[in-house]
Amino acid sequence: MALRRALHFVFKVGDRSKTATFYRDVLGMKVLRHEEFEEGCKATCNGPYDGKWSKTMVGFGPEDEHFVAELTYNYGVGEYRLGNDFLGITLQSSKAVSNAKHLGWPLTQVEEGLYLTHAPGGYPFYLIDQDKPLTDPVQKVCLAVSDLQKSIHYWTTLLGMKVLDRNEQKKTVLMGYTDKQCKLELHDVCGPVDHGTAFGRIAFSCPRDQLPDLESLMKKENQKILTPLVSLDTPGKATVDVVILSDPDGHEICFVGDEAFRQLSSVDPQGNELLNQAMAADKSEEWFAKHNRQKATA
């Protein structure tokens, strides 16, 4: 499955301004593209919402070679409840560590050379205080599972990942499609996995012609399919085919056709400015404050 690659993780964000500060000024990521939508996504990219929302892709470089974050903002929703499903993203960047210290962003030393910080909304990020040459500073995404063996079977036998490392003591397994991509770490939490209302989604690409076979395999194995194979249109951009799956613990997994997605995910030089414009035009914080009301909690 070397042709498959890890793309991004989707976060729901309630405060776009603070979130932009974290990713741009603390982590040092760049805005790769920004899009505004008037209604909900057919593949529920913004969760179970039908209203206006935005999508901002941020990363250390183009999604062709980097694992990035997709930040979805639902207008009018200010807070999401975290579960225990998302256990963190680990990235290697001395610059991010120094940025956090300089800006006074809360930072906890976990061990020598490793720090824990949180994005707005409470999402954990682990920062390795090293700067050796890397194609992508983002090292791994860690998700909670309730039955490690069952999850290993799902991700390897059905989705084609390979096990790269396993730690019996910590009850973790490290997986990936290739050694050079961002890895997926599964951590057995010895109990139920709660997705809260902040539940995210991890995305991968594969050749377009693999999508029907992937969907068929999941049907044959009686696995849950959240969104059957569908074509998603983005005005003025490539139409991408998508199938969205759910693993044994309910983690959402998106597979997209690689060829069209490479066109769709190309970096927009105006992305940063479009995000700034959208945040400036969004007067919702002022409106809620003026009317002495709070934004909805999901």
Closest by Cα among 149, 146, 113, 152 to 129: 113
Domain that holds residue 109: 5-297
Predicted confidence (pLDDT) at residue 126 exceeds the cutoff of 60: yes
Residues 49-63 have a mean pLDDT of 92
Confidence label for 41 from pLDDT (cuts 50, 70 and 90)? confident
The CB density around residue 77, as the number of other CB atoms within 10 Å, is 22
Gap between the Cα atoms of 74 and 12, Å rounded:
8
C-alpha angle with apex 14: 97 to 138, nearest 5 degrees? Answer: 35
- Look up the pTM and report it: 0.93
Predicted confidence (pLDDT) at residue 204 exceeds the cutoff of 60: yes
Gap between the Cα atoms of 276 and 271, Å rounded:
9
Q: List Cα–Cα distances, 189 to 13, 39, 144, 152, in angstroms.
A: 25, 36, 6, 14
Number of domains in the chain: 1
Q: List Cα–Cα distances, 201 to 65, 193, 195, 251, in angstroms.
A: 19, 14, 11, 7
Predicted confidence (pLDDT) at residue 46 exceeds the cutoff of 90: no
Pairing mode, if any, of strands 183-188 and 172-176? antiparallel
DSSP secondary structure code for residue 207 in this structure: -
CATH assignment of the domain containing 155: 3.10.180.10
Strands in 169-276 per DSSP E: 172-176, 183-188, 201-206, 224-232, 240-246, 252-257
